[in-house]
């Protein structure tokens, strides 16, 4: 069976109709990984035996009368989400050999639905990066052009979905890490509102920004997956006590009558012309389908990158303090004393980008600099959030580019941290404001690389997001 174009929905239908079993489906995913992953490098580890055992359990459950949209469907998991009994390295040497003793809530939710864990996908170390080149384990290649990056930090998940090695995958988005790799690889990526999905068991990068979300081939698949991920969790006090609407119902609404805002700060010089042209075509298509296009302004956008790289690194420096060589992970040999143990375990275990961020984050939090950097960044974060509150008075969703460029060559940006950070200009504001967003494919460059745009909606307006996204997707597939 070829799983390249296979959606969650088609998989569920095939399983329900007994066209194939979950064991056959899972074996096809494993075969695809075996055949292609040498070129793509999307996966870090695959537990074939465990996946097949889960698949045969799902088949038995179905034979006994159980049903469900994810029952027996394999899903790939970014390697920072804990799954009991599986490695969880965060693509870092410091966690090499670590085996999770428990399930993250999102993993437990998938398990409860009878989903199969297809494998652990590559990422930038601790999700710090935009190209997956900061993985300490391996390079992941873009399935559309193997000489290009897949984006990041959830580059392995995006490459697996787009490259025919997964039905669907989970990623995380702290500052764009679902939406940007989805854009670079040509799949659908949803960043849920902050507090919509539990972070329990998801290795923390920046706790006030991180969210888990689906990376899929269609908008409907993203709705199916988010349905299972979303909801209040007693283990994560930041999850909101709000009902989870039926996201698939929202798919039918259509663009007719929706108000789409174009923030002028996102339509600026410096963005690649092919990206801009594709985004403009998407705007025109929405207008032709009956959406009303309105101009809006988000005046504090220019500060978003600076605010993000202060807040995210500050939180990272605190979160990563737990990796000290004592309780788990890499431990330096023959330490002289406890300080030497900490210092050398961390020096040996963390990669350059992670160290850079820990140092930066420690600096902005240190006494004497706290007010000037961290304190001020928090204030500007509030202003950025208010910009969005105002904009959403005038429109239902915003439509913007996801990244200023399509996928670039491996090696092109990895030596210049600032260049890489600036690529996050259109994605980080949504995280700072707690919004939900979706990255959608909208054509290809002349060279055959995917192009994309994003819709953003106010916090907990995922239905609005899905309505717009599904409405656009129908237009683009009708166009052929």
Taking the C-alpha atoms of residue 397 and residue 291, their distance in angstroms, rounded to an integer, is: 11
Taking the C-alpha atoms of residue 342 and residue 326, their distance in angstroms, rounded to an integer, is: 8
Taking the C-alpha atoms of residue 357 and residue 374, their distance in angstroms, rounded to an integer, is: 14
Applying CB under 6 A, does 429 fall inside the site for ligand GLN?
A: no
Applying CB under 6 A, does 438 fall inside the site for ligand GLN?
A: no
Of 160 and 204, the one with the shorter C-beta distance to ligand GLN is 204
- Select which of 21, 131, 153, 154 is catalytic: 153
Options 156, 175, 261, 329; binder of ligand GLN; rule CB under 6 A? 175
- Minimum CB separation of residue 216 from ligand GLN in Å reads 18
Of 87 and 361, the one with the shorter C-beta distance to ligand GLN is 361
Q: Is 153 assigned a catalytic role?
A: yes
- Minimum CB separation of residue 65 from ligand GLN in Å reads 41
294-333 binders of ligand GLN (CB under 6 A): 312
Cα maximum dimension of the chain: 70
Q: Give the range of 70-78, 172-180, 242-250, 252-260 binding ligand GLN by CB under 6 A.
A: 172-180
Applying CB under 6 A, does 450 fall inside the site for ligand GLN?
A: no
Residues in binding contact with ligand GLN, number by CB under 6 A: 14
Of 106 and 341, the one with the shorter C-beta distance to ligand GLN is 106
Taking the C-alpha atoms of residue 254 and residue 467, their distance in angstroms, rounded to an integer, is: 6
- Minimum CB separation of residue 87 from ligand GLN in Å reads 20
Q: Cis omega before residue 92 (within 30°)?
A: no
Q: Give the range of 23-31, 121-129, 193-201, 327-335 binding ligand GLN by CB under 6 A.
A: 121-129
Options 133, 233, 387, 424; binder of ligand GLN; rule CB under 6 A? 424
Of 59 and 210, the one with the shorter C-beta distance to ligand GLN is 210
Of 129 and 186, the one with the shorter C-beta distance to ligand GLN is 129
- Minimum CB separation of residue 218 from ligand GLN in Å reads 23
Q: Give the range of 87-95, 123-131, 399-407, 441-449 binding ligand GLN by CB under 6 A.
A: 123-131
Applying CB under 6 A, does 174 fall inside the site for ligand GLN?
A: yes
- Per the CB < 8 A criterion, the answer to whether 196 and 170 are in contact is no
Of 22 and 405, the one with the shorter C-beta distance to ligand GLN is 405
Q: Is 147 assigned a catalytic role?
A: no
- Minimum CB separation of residue 312 from ligand GLN in Å reads 5
Q: Name the burial class of residue 292, with classes exposed (0-12), middle (13-18) and buried (19+) by CB atoms within 10 angstroms of its CB.
A: middle
In angstroms, the first-to-last Cα distance of the chain is 25
128-147 binders of ligand GLN (CB under 6 A): 128-130
Q: Is 177 assigned a catalytic role?
A: yes
Of 190 and 286, the one with the shorter C-beta distance to ligand GLN is 190
- Minimum CB separation of residue 145 from ligand GLN in Å reads 21
- Select which of 22, 177, 198, 439 is catalytic: 177
Of 277 and 422, the one with the shorter C-beta distance to ligand GLN is 422
152-171 binders of ligand GLN (CB under 6 A): 153
Options 43, 117, 194, 205; binder of ligand GLN; rule CB under 6 A? 205
- Per the CB < 8 A criterion, the answer to whether 99 and 86 are in contact is yes
Taking the C-alpha atoms of residue 185 and residue 86, their distance in angstroms, rounded to an integer, is: 27
- Minimum CB separation of residue 172 from ligand GLN in Å reads 6
Which residues in this chain contact ligand GLN in the complex, by CB under 6 A? Answer: 127-130, 153, 172-177, 205, 312, 424
Enzyme catalytic residues: 78, 153, 177
């Amino acid at each position: 069976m070829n799983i390249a174009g296979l959606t969650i929905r088609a998989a569920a239908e095939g399983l329900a109709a007994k066209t194939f079993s979950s064991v056959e489906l899972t074996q096809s995913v494993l075969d695809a990984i075996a055949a292609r992953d040498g070129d793509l490098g999307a996966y870090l580890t695959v537990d074939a035996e465990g996946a097949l055992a889960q698949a045969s359990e799902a088949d038995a459950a179905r034979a006994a009368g159980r049903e469900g949209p994810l029952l027996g469907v394999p899903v790939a998991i970014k390697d920072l989400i804990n799954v009991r009994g599986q490695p969880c390295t965060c693509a870092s040497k410091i966690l090499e050999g670590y085996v999770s003793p428990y399930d993250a809530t999102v993993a437990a939710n998938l398990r409860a639905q009878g989903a199969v864990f297809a494998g652990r996908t590559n990422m930038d170390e601790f999700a710090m990066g935009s190209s997956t080149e900061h993985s300490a384990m391996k390079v992941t290649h873009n399935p559309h052009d193997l000489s290009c990056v897949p984006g990041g930090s959830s580059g392995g998940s995006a490459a697996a979905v787009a490259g025919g090695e997964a039905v669907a995958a989970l990623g995380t988005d702290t500052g764009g890490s679902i939406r940007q790799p989805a854009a670079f690889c040509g799949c659908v990526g949803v960043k849920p509102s902050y507090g919509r999905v539990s972070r329990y068991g998801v290795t923390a990068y920046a706790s006030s920004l991180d969210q888990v979300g689906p990376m899929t081939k269609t908008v409907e698949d993203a709705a199916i997956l988010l349905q299972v991920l979303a909801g209040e969790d007693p283990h994560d006090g930041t999850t909101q006590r709000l009902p989870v609407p039926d996201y698939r119902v929202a798919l039918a609404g259509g663009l007719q009558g929706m108000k789409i805002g174009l923030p002028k700060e996102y339509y600026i010089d410096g963005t690649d012309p092919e990206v801009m042209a594709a985004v403009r075509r998407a705007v025109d298509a929405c207008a032709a389908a009956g959406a009303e296009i309105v101009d809006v302004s988000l005046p504090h956008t220019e500060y978003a990158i600076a605010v993000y790289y202060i807040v995210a690194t500050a939180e990272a420096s605190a979160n990563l303090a737990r990796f000290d060589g004592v309780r788990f992970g890499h431990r330096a040999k023959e330490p002289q004393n406890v300080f030497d143990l900490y210092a050398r375990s961390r020096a040996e275990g963390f990669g350059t980008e992670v160290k850079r961020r820990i140092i930066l984050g420690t600096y902005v939090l240190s006494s004497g600099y706290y007010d000037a950097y961290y304190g001020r960044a928090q204030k500007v974060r509030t202003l950025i959030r208010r910009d969005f509150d105002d904009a959403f008075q005038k429109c239902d969703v915003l439509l913007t580019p996801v990244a200023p460029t399509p996928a670039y060559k491996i090696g092109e940006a990895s030596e210049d941290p600032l260049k890489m950070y600036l690529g996050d200009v259109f994605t980080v504001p949504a995280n700072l404001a707690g919004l939900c967003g979706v990255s959608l494919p909208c054509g290809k460059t002349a060279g055959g690389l995917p192009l994309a745009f994003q819709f953003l909606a106010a916090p907990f307006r995922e239905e609005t997001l899905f309505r717009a996204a599904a409405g656009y997707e129908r237009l683009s597939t009708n166009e052929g």
